[in-house]
Amino acid sequence: MEGRKLERIKEQLKYETEVFRAALLIAVATIGGTIGLLLGDHTTLRMILAGAGIIVSIVAVLSVVRQDRIIRELLDWLEDNDHDRL
């Protein structure tokens, strides 16, 4: 029983780490694109797209923070239960 739970936690940790990486890449790419839009001419379309980029960036950063917390909780569980090997 304990072995199955350990394997499930390990798989969940792998999944959460992949989601973390994807969210981080999305955040960096979106922030970069938004900065690029803000550095150009200030047309209405560019400002609308930059505003949308800012909103998406905030959501992506919040997702990264959430994933980080989940990963840390899983690692703490593994550590508390004396499972040093991943």
- 21-80 tens-digit pLDDT: 998 999 999 999 999 988 988 899 999 999 999 999 999 999 999 999 999 998 888 888
Q: Among candidates 38, 61, 59, 58, which has minimal Cα distance to 49?
A: 38
Residue 57: Cβ-neighbour burial (10 angstroms; 0-12, 13-18, 19+)? buried
Q: Dihedral (C-alpha) 59, 62, 67, 69: value to the nearest 10 degrees?
A: -170
Q: Where are the domains of the chain?
A: 2-80
Q: What pLDDT, on the 0 to 100 scale, is given for residue 40?
A: 85
Helix 2-39 to helix 44-80 angle, to the nearest 10 degrees? 160
